[in-house]
């Protein structure tokens, strides 16, 4: 088989996988959650998957955050594991216009954005381009969708504009819907902090050794609570 035929065969195979993935997504009754951000997304996905697993059948895809991984998740792994209640997927940006195809295939009910920093400089060049790329996940939400955004990052908070979906925020900001306070991770104690929200005041204790882990922890907690997980299962 020559190189041209091999390429055609490979392209047809990939198209078939995407077709099957779209069908699997259309048939599924699960709640699909996409998480992106320049930092903290893997921790947020892992924590959220762990919390949701105590509330319903959950499939979590972390670190493997490309379009190929999403295709595999939808058409292969979901069929293997049967119907689930939640799918939590980490969406990574490796370059310009890499999140949008994932977002359009995932069709998230919930989009979580942790933060925006300048990454993959050779591809993005400027912070605004990174923010635009991450925003694609939020833009894929339907009118009944939910955006969970970092209130402390103006580039993330700006993603709230222009959408008909519901919005909640988390962070240290006084205006955050899920306000973080009393952050402490003094050795040998691990990270703990207080989360102020409609559900009341939650005292969160984690196994993490550093204060910076408060952000993905708060993102996961806020998302779980918005999805109806009881506060006692989040603490």
Half-sphere exposure of 186 (CA within 13 A, CB side): 2
Domain 3-169 coded CATH 3.40.1190.10: yes
Give the integer Cα–Cα distance in Å for 201 and 142. Answer: 30
Task: Find the helix packing angle between 99-106 and 3-27, rounded to 10°.
Answer: 40
Q: Which pLDDT value is given to residue 51?
A: 97
Name the pTM for this structure.
Answer: 0.90
Task: Report the first-to-last Cα separation within the chain, whole angstroms.
Answer: 58
Give the integer Cα–Cα distance in Å for 35 and 42. Answer: 8
pLDDT by residue (tens digit) across 96-154? 888 999 999 999 999 999 999 876 555 667 888 888 889 999 999 999 999 999 999 99
* Residue 148: both structure tokens together: 């969970």
pLDDT, mean of residues 187-195: 94
Cβ atoms of 200 and 221 closer than 8 Å:
no
Give the integer Cα–Cα distance in Å for 58 and 82. Answer: 10
Q: Which pLDDT value is given to residue 1?
A: 60
Least confident of 34-48, 62-76, 202-216: 62-76
pLDDT by residue (tens digit) across 222-234? 999 999 999 999 9
Closest by CA position to 74, among listed 101, 40, 44, 42:
101
Q: Which pLDDT value is given to residue 135?
A: 93
* Residue 176: both structure tokens together: 């955050």
Calculate the alpha carbon distances from 174 to 44, 128, 162, 171 in Å. 22, 25, 23, 8
Per-domain residue ranges for the chain?
Answer: 3-169
Cβ atoms of 133 and 96 closer than 8 Å:
yes
Give the model's confidence band at 56: pLDDT under 50 very low, under 70 low, under 90 confident, else very high.
Answer: very high
Strand-pair category, 192-197 with 178-184:
antiparallel
Cβ atoms of 202 and 189 closer than 8 Å:
no
């Amino acid at each position: 088989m020559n190189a041209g035929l091999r390429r055609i065969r490979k392209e047809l195979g990939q198209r078939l996988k995407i077709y099957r993935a779209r069908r699997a997504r259309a048939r599924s009754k699960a709640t699909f959650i996409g998480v992106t951000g320049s930092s903290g997304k893997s921790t947020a996905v892992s924590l959220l998957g762990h919390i949701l697993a105590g509330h319903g059948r959950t499939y979590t895809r972390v670190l493997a955050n490309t379009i190929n991984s999403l295709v595999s998740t939808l058409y292969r792994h979901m069929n293997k594991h049967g119907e689930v209640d939640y799918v939590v997927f980490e969406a990574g940006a490796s370059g310009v216009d890499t999140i949008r195809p994932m977002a359009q295939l995932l069709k998230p009910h919930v989009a979580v954005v942790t933060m925006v920093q300048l990454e993959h400089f050779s591809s993005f060049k400027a912070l605004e381009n990174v923010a635009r790329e991450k925003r694609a996940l939020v833009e894929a939400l339907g009118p009944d969708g939910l955006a969970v955004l970092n209130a402390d990052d103006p580039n993330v908070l700006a993603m709230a504009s222009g959408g008909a979906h519901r919005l909640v925020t988390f962070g240290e900001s006084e205006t955050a819907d899920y306000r973080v306070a009393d952050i402490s991770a003094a050795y040998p104690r691990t990270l703990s902090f207080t989360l102020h929200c409609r559900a009341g005041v939650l005292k969160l204790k984690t196994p993490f050794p550093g204060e910076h882990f408060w952000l993905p922890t708060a993102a996961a907690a806020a998302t779980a609570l918005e999805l109806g997980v009881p506060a006692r299962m989040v603490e």
